[in-house]
Structure 1
Amino acid sequence: MPMMCGGTALPSEADEKIQKICESVKSHAEQKAGKTYDVFTAKTYTTQLVAGTNYFVKVYVGGDDHVHLRIHEKLPCYGGDIELSDMQHGKSQEDPIGYF
């Protein structure tokens, strides 16, 4: 996956690792959205290397709805914590995932 320093990588299909990262922040995303998601399936993602990794993930949440999540994973030397940094609602399957 080619990446420029500080930029985001090209989008890729989400895999099991990305799904697990999304599941780890699902309750925070639900809290932020003020609703519960019966479906929470990671579809595509891109990454940005910073002091750790930012994951920008398109997540299918049922019906025609998607949300975009920005998830930060700290470097192991800083505890390796994973946290939801930001979230965008009302996205469609066609909306490109990228930095926000």
Structure 2
Amino acid sequence: MMTGGLSETKPATPEIQQLVNQVKPQFQSQANTNCADFTAIVYKTQVVAGTMYFIKVQVSDGEYVHLKVFESLPHENTGPSLVGFQTGKTRDDPLTYF
């Protein structure tokens, strides 16, 4: 992987789902919505001063969102933060930088 570039798309892991669970309240507040389903499907990473995650999340039947989540370096001792999101996505929409 090129430094600063996005990784290959990988299937979501339990760790990625945990990250998604942590930023769900931020997403619901910013998007002014309430999601019963919030399941991570796939993700990409970008190494910066920490890690930027681009995660495809299923929010209902056939409806997906793309989340951009920043996780700082461990010594900074801060939780993950939702940097941005894109709504109105489908399962087939590619996960790209935004």
Q: Report the TM range for the smaller structure's normalisation.
A: over 0.9
Match of 1:60 in 2: 58
What is the alpha-carbon distance in structure 2 between the residues aligned to residue 98 and residue 45 of structure 1? Answer: 10
TM-score by length of 1: 0.94
What is the alpha-carbon distance in structure 2 between the residues aligned to residue 38 and residue 46 of structure 1? Answer: 24
Match of 1:77 in 2: 75
Q: How many residues align?
A: 98
Tell me the SS of whatever aligns to 2:96.
Answer: coil
| Structure 2 gap segments, 5+ residues each | none
What is the alpha-carbon distance in structure 2 between the residues aligned to residue 81 and residue 67 of structure 1? Answer: 21
| Structure 1 gap segments, 5+ residues each | none
Match of 2:29 in 1: 31
State the 1:33 CA deviation: 1.2
Find runs of 4+ consecutive structure 1 residues off by over 4 angstroms: none
What is the alpha-carbon distance in structure 1 between the residues aligned to residue 62 and residue 37 of structure 2? Answer: 12
Match of 1:9 in 2: 7
After superposition, the CA RMSD in angstroms is: 0.8
What is the alpha-carbon distance in structure 2 between the residues aligned to residue 35 and residue 82 of structure 1? Answer: 20
